[in-house]
Each structure stands twice: as C-alpha cells, then as structure tokens.
Amino acid sequence: MIAKGRFGKLEIKVQNTPSAANPKSGYIVAMSICKVLKDLSSPIVVGI
C-alpha cells in the first residue's frame, strides 16, 4: 500500500511466511480464520 500527500510518502509492505507443511498457504491464514470466528461469536467487534 502506498499513500502520498503533503506529508510525503508512506509505503507499507506485508510478506507472509509460508507454512512448512503446505507452502501454498501460511500461518497467517489460520490466525485470520480464528479472528473471523472470534468476531462472529463476539457481541462487540472493534475494527473492520
């Protein structure tokens, strides 16, 4: 993601570490699934 403005330029880069058991996937996938399930069962969700 790149944001440019009067402040200058901000660039954010995210790289995933592949899973040793399945290089087509990564550890972040499991964490994302856990967060979605937690948010679905929570009465209050902060953020998007």
At residue 18, the pLDDT reads 82
Q: Does residue 20 belong to any structural domain of this protein?
A: yes
**3, containing H or E segment:** strand 2-5
Number of structural domains found in the chain: 1
Is 2 within the bounds of a domain? no
Q: The whole model's pTM is what?
A: 0.44
Domain assignment present for 4: no
46 inside domain: yes
Whether residue 10 is contained in a domain is answered as no
Tell me which residues of the chain have a pLDDT lower than 50.
none
| Residue 8 placed within a domain | no
Task: Write out the residue range of the structural domain in which residue 32 sits.
Answer: 15-48
Cα–Cα distance for residue pair 16/26, rounded to 1 Å = 7
* CA pair distance 44, 36, nearest whole angstrom: 13
User: Does 9 map to a domain?
Assistant: no
- Residue 45's pLDDT is 66
